[in-house]
Amino acid sequence: MSGPVAPPSRASMHEVSVPTTDLVELVLRYARDRILSDDTPLDKPIPPVDLARLAGRSIDEHGIGADRALARFEHVLAPACITTDHPQYLSFIPTAPTKAAVAFDLVVSASALYGGSWLEGAGAVYAENEVLSWLAAEFGLPSGAGGVFVQGGTLGNLSALVAAREHARGAVARDGAEMPQRWKVVCSAEAHSAPGEDGVLRGAAVRSALDEHGASVFAVVATAGSTNFGIVDDLASIAALTDEFDVWFHVDGAYGLAGMLSPAARHRFSGVERADSVIVDPHKWLFAPFDACALIYRDPESGRRAHTQHAEYLDTLTETSEWSPSDYAAHLTRRARGLPLWFSLATHGAAAYREAIGASIRLAQDIAREIERRDGFSLVREPQLSVVVFEREGWTKADYARWSARLLDEQHAFVTPSSHAGRPNTRFAIVNPKTSLEQLTAILDTMA
């Protein structure tokens, strides 16, 4: 008669043993196969009740083991997630990480790195800062510009605006003026997601807002490639206003600012070099895995003044002049999320990035010409970057929805309905270098 089963050692999950070795090999084998797969399916979500039935319960007091847990992920959970790096994922803004960036993301997780302070992660911070300095130079910012990689564009924009507000408060205090009852931001109606018919925010419209609202405006936000259309605001005319108005100039380039790396689009971004802060998301058009947003300040000290957190246990970090990424955004704990981009850039070089971005821009132009050529199709707006918005004439919102659902159900493509000014439409958001003109024209064929 066997005795009671001994409880597992409290350290067994952390020990290097035969079971943990087998577990690591199992996971690495899956990761290797996924990274090197050339035919990963698009996949699709399934209703909650069906997912609950298929996945069942996996967490209990004793665990189900690595083999069963990974099998459940591979065969049930992962297929219920759309593959965002699929060449025919064309909705929202896709992701298309390089194999180098994805592989190095494993290294970052395996290396027990903390990316919040120089004291704990000097090597990682140095590498991230090299990328940030390179981006700043590409955008024409001065040599001292710098910042931090944060989770995404929302946090990057928020952190920049916190720094802008702190800067404005300091200016009011120095002047001995009265603080506004409510601070204001000037931006276009399409900020991140515009006054002119072409959707472009221009200096004249910003001037009117500044004249109307005066010193209560602490920041002007321009968009360098809107999410819906890829529109780049007239950055130069907006930047020129900073000669006259003491206001922070922030450029939200979450998706589009990467387009500046291509000679085909660089001219569209004139004026960004005068920004006080900018953001760009490498997990969009710079071929990094989720999640990474580069937040760059013209004067990093303005970010540090706004965001450094003070506590007795942090004094050893905040009382030094060393570069601690946690001091430059609304966060404290952080992973070194800029390292996959660093490794990929170091591996392939900037020229490969320029060509890949340029290829997306050229493909957008090519499919736009094809849309114009076809009877019953029309462009909503000429693409500036790599987002192409178009209409199937006579289609209602319900028509687009049925078509989109059928495309995904048949695993043909992921192209969701959209709209502009109350009219339904759809769009191709192109960032993946593996997306082809043939694939896009085949999708148009399904709309016949």
Distance CA 358, CA 352 (A): 10
Q: Whose CA is closest to 431, among 330, 258, 285?
A: 285
Give the Å distances, CA to CA, from 125 to 95, 338, 376. Answer: 24, 9, 53
Q: Whose CA is closest to 275, among 252, 293, 254, 245?
A: 252
Is the distance from CB of 281 to CB of 431 less than 8 angstroms? no
Is the distance from CB of 243 to CB of 232 less than 8 angstroms? no
Residue 7: per-residue pLDDT: 61
Q: What is the fold of 351-445? A: Aspartate Aminotransferase, domain 1 (3.90.1150)
Residue 6: per-residue pLDDT: 55
Residue 320: per-residue pLDDT: 75
The structure tokens 């020129």 sit at 240
The alpha carbon torsion through 358, 361, 367, 369 (nearest 10 deg) reads -110
The structure tokens 């076809």 sit at 374
Every domain of the chain and the residues it spans? 18-43+45-81, 103-348, 351-445
Distance CA 277, CA 300 (A): 9
- One-letter amino acid for residue 282 of the chain: P
| Per-position b or e across 264-301, b if 16+ CB within 10 A of its CB | bbeebbbbbbbbbbbbbbbbbbbbbbbbbbbbbbbbbe
Distance CA 277, CA 303 (A): 9
- As given in the structure block, the two tokens for residue 38 are 């050339």
- Cβ neighbours around 62 below 10 Å, total: 8
Give the Å distances, CA to CA, from 104 to 9, 136, 151, 317. Answer: 32, 23, 18, 28
Residue 177, helix vs strand vs coil: coil
CA angle 165, 168, 173 (to 5 degrees): 125
What secondary structure, in 3-state letters, does 375-428 show?
CCEEECCCCCCCEEEEEECCCCHHHHHHHHHHHHHCCCCECCEEEECCEEEEEE
Count CA within 13 A, CB hemisphere, residue 337: 21
Q: What is the fold of 103-348? A: Aspartate Aminotransferase; domain 2 (3.40.640)
Is the distance from CB of 140 to CB of 220 less than 8 angstroms? no
Is the distance from CB of 147 to CB of 160 less than 8 angstroms? no
From the first residue on, what is the mean pLDDT of each consecutive set of 10 residues in the chain (448 residues)?
59 93 98 96 98 96 96 98 98 97 98 96 98 98 98 98 97 94 90 69 96 96 95 97 96 98 98 98 98 98 93 68 93 96 98 98 98 98 97 98 98 97 96 98 97
For 49, phi then psi, to 5°, come to -65, -35
Residue 108, helix vs strand vs coil: helix
Helix (H) or strand (E) holding 146: strand 146-150
For 292, phi then psi, to 5°, come to -160, 125
Peptide bond into 291 cis (omega under 30): yes
Residue 8: per-residue pLDDT: 64
Count CA within 13 A, CB hemisphere, residue 440: 29
Distance of CA 26 to the CA centre of its chain: 30
Distance CA 438, CA 444 (A): 10
